[in-house]
Amino acid sequence: MSDEEEQGFPVKVYVYDISRGMAAMYAPMILGINLEAIYHTSVVIYGKEYYIDQGIKCATPGTTKYGVPIEVLDLGETYVTEDIFDEFMNELKDEFKYSAIAYDLFDNNCNHFTDKVVEFSSGKNLEDRILKLPQQVLNTPNGQYLRQMLGGQIA
């Protein structure tokens, strides 16, 4: 590779199960469907882990309160410079779309944030099995009850 060629940076998604196995055990009884997990995701890029927790946060990969990821998705590389990426992240923070007050468990959660960041950095999207899980839950009779109980909001 010549010095003039751009260097790509790996883009990874860390996938966590915030139910710690409880979703797989209880979803069939409560919702009538099988769930592998209740997913929390983050993006690892430029040696940093970006995630939502009371707003947009950044940490050393693998050191968040979410523990050890149940899987790591490799979404290729980005050729977006770290400076441009930082500008993008600052714009997201300024929009307040991913602030604690705007968070919605079903319609504006950590997985939506991850999808937006992955799309910007790599042109790819988060897998439907993760991104569409809230709608899968809401499509069950008890899912609608759960939404009412939670008010659609958890911050």
Which residues face 42 on adjacent strands? 14
Please report, as a single letter, which amino acid is at residue 51.
Answer: Y
Mean pLDDT for the stretch of residues 96-106:
87
pTM of the model: 0.89
Catalytic residues: 40, 110
Task: Name the helix (H) or strand (E) containing 16.
Answer: strand 9-17
Could you tell me the CATH number of the domain that includes residue 23?
A: 3.90.1720.30
70 within domain boundaries: yes
Range of the domain at 137: 9-150
Q: What span, in angstroms and rounded, lies between the C-alpha atoms of 142 and 129?
A: 20
Residue by residue, DSSP assigns 38-91 as -EEEEEEETTEEEEESSSEEEESTT-STT-S-SEEEEEEEE-S-HHHHHHHHHH
Mean pLDDT of the chain, nearest integer: 90
Residue 100: partners with Cβ closer than 8 Å, 6 or more residues away: 54, 55, 155
- Residue scoring higher pLDDT (102 or 155): 102
> Coil, strand, or helix at residue 6?
coil
Q: What is the pLDDT of residues 38-88, one digit of tens each?
A: 999 999 999 999 999 989 999 999 999 999 999 999 999 999 999 999 999
Number of domains composing the chain? 1
